Structure 1
Amino acid sequence: MKRHQTLRDLSREHHTALTLALAARRAATSGDSRQLAASAKACGEVFATHLEPHFVVEETTLLPALARAGEQALVARTLREHAALRSLCGELPGGGAATLLRFAELLSAHVRFEERELFEVAQAGLEQ
């Protein structure tokens, strides 16, 4: 889908998140403790360098605009999921396969929610 200019960078960054989620899911189900540990470490690093800054941009620019437009339910869901992902990321060191899998599944579902719902509503407002 072609995105409005103000959403393009955020949308592109979702590719990094989906790639990370796929790798984490594979590691979590691999049964290999070294792969699991490496993936948990990589998730923490990518979260700090890419995902957290992405969340901050959304939370300081996009979400306030959507809240002003009356989209409180979408904003609340986004903030809940950001908080859950931050929490899970903090649990990754030593959290085991189940924690890594929960992180991967929530990250993937969150990106799809943003692309299919949040950004669709935002884009409709930007095109007016």
Structure 2
Amino acid sequence: MKRCQSLAWLSRQHYAALVLAKHAQRASTDSTEATRQLMAHAVEIFERELEPHFHVEEETLLPLLTAAGETDRVRRTLDEHEELRCLISRLRTGDAASLRRFGDILEAHVRFEERELFAVAESILAPEALAILEMHDLTTGA
């Protein structure tokens, strides 16, 4: 999907999240070594890439959308972020049964952001407002 420059870097990060989601969805629910490694990988990717991504959205994009009246979409985004954080906490404790649910929620979340949240942001937010996101990308190197 073609994105404006200001959202493109966040959108590119979604590809890695979708790859992780697909691996998690295909995972076994037993405690095999492969499952343990995948859980550890999911936690690592979440901490290194997804949590910072969530933080940028929560500190920049979502307040802009809230101010523009998009409270339902913002609430859904925040609820999904929180659910993914809870699932990662379970994976940290070795709860293999949470791996598929994590994958399902992560995939649905990325699809929602790409198809709805970012599309709405591009259509209703002024270019100057969106530029805040691009400046964040330049200052953080994210």
Taking structure 1 as the reference length, the TM-score comes to 0.93
Within a 5 Å distance, the mapping from 1:41-80 to structure 2 comes to: 41-80=40-79
Secondary structure of the 1:27 match is: coil
Q: Are the aligned partners of 1:89 and 1:103 in contact in 2 as well (CA < 8 Å)?
A: yes
AA matched with 1:13: Q
Segments of structure 1 that go 5 or more residues without pairing to the other structure are none
Take 1:36 and 1:11, find their aligned partners in 2: how far apart are those partners?
Answer: 28
> C-alpha offsets along residues 88-125 of structure 1, whole Å, 9 cap, x if unaligned?
001003102x2000000000000000001101100112
Deviation at 1:127, TM superposition (A): 6.1
Q: Counterpart in 2 of 1:23? A: 23
**Counterpart of 2:27 in 1: which secondary structure?**
helix
- Report the residue type matching 2:24 in the other structure: A
Structure 2 residue 88 is matched with structure 1 residue 89:
yes
Q: CA deviation at 1:126?
A: 3.7
Cα distance between partner residues in 2 of 1:59 and 1:80: 11
Counterpart CA distance in 1 for 2:111 and 2:31 is 28
Alpha carbons 2:25, 2:104 under 8 Å: kept: yes
For residues 82 and 42 of structure 2, the distance between their equivalents in structure 1, rounded to whole angstroms, comes to 16
Alignment correspondent of 1:2:
2
Which runs of no fewer than 5 residues in structure 2 stay unpaired?
128-142
1:28 positional shift: 3.1
Task: State the match for 1:12 in structure 2.
Answer: 12
What is the identity percentage for the equivalent residue pairs of Structure 1 and Structure 2?
52
Alignment-mate amino acid for residue 54 of structure 1:
H
Paired residue type of 1:44: V
List, as ranges, runs of 4+ consecutive aligned residues in structure 1 with deviation greater than 3 Å. none
* Superposed displacement of residue 32, structure 1: 6.8
- The alignment partner of 2:2 has SS state of coil
Q: Which secondary structure state, in structure 2, belongs to the residue aligned with residue 70 of structure 1?
A: coil
Once the two structures are superposed, what CA deviation does each residue of 1:56-75 show, in whole Å capped at 9, x if it has no partner? Answer: 00001100000000000000
Q: Distance in 2 between matches of 1:28 and 1:112?
A: 24
